[in-house]
Amino acid sequence: MSQAIIQIEKLGKRYKGSVDYSLEDVSFTINAGDKFGIFGPNGAGKTTLISIICKLFEQTSGHVHYYPSNGNALNLGFVPQDLALYEDLTAYQNLEYFGALYKLPKKQVQLRALKFLSILGLSGVAHKKVKTFSGGMKRRLNLAIGIINDPEIIFLDEPTVGVDIQSKNAIMAFLNDLNEKGTTIIYTSHHMDEAEEFCDKIAILDYGKLIANDTLQNLFTLHNVSSLMEIMLLLTGKEYRDNV
């Protein structure tokens, strides 16, 4: 039986000065080992929700319950869409720096840095400044930084945006491997084909409300569709959301 690792209960968020809620009465559970996707149109509340779960924002109402497997504080990793890198440092120095922020032992950081640089195809540029890197190389380093603390849960915001097919395949293969070893992954992206292939469970938000929460296969059956894109268009409509 699956064990809950995060439970969201009647979560609400209203920003100061706003009349409307960005999130309203959102409830669902993420189980340990899930590859859980959070989707929705622009302005649906995805970023707000993830920011609250990551403890970057405070909710207005409701609760987020965490259930770490080891009984200690839950170890979280966050890989943002906007690259969190220091361009004038080398790849290795970036990993050393962020590892130090987590107060990890220096030897442990060194071993993890070398391991992730190797797996993600960056060993040959480990001691080159990041400003010389291609977009795909920066994206892979961004991922390595997000997991340097060996998190139980990784939050991924558009992890393959703007990268070539080789970097995309390397990133997704690495994420699948982490998941197979027990890491829970919470993922959001506008790449529906990639999301459909990667995620096993999803939540869909629209106008701050949860409008779907199930396995992909159950949603396909329920709505008589064969793709995540069809589900999104069916549930959230086809009109433009750029001005939201």
| pLDDT grade for 242, boundaries at 50, 70 and 90 | low
Cα 57 from Cα 59, distance rounded (Å): 6
pLDDT tens track for 127-157: 999 999 999 899 999 999 999 999 999 999 8
Tokens of 127: 């001691």
Largest pairwise CA distance in the chain: 53
Binning pLDDT at 50, 70 and 90, where does residue 167 land? confident
pLDDT digits (tens, 9 = 90+) for 44-73: 999 899 999 988 889 999 999 999 876 677
> β-strands 61-66, 76-79: how paired?
unpaired
CATH of domain 1-74+189-244: 3.40.50.300
This prediction has a pTM of: 0.90
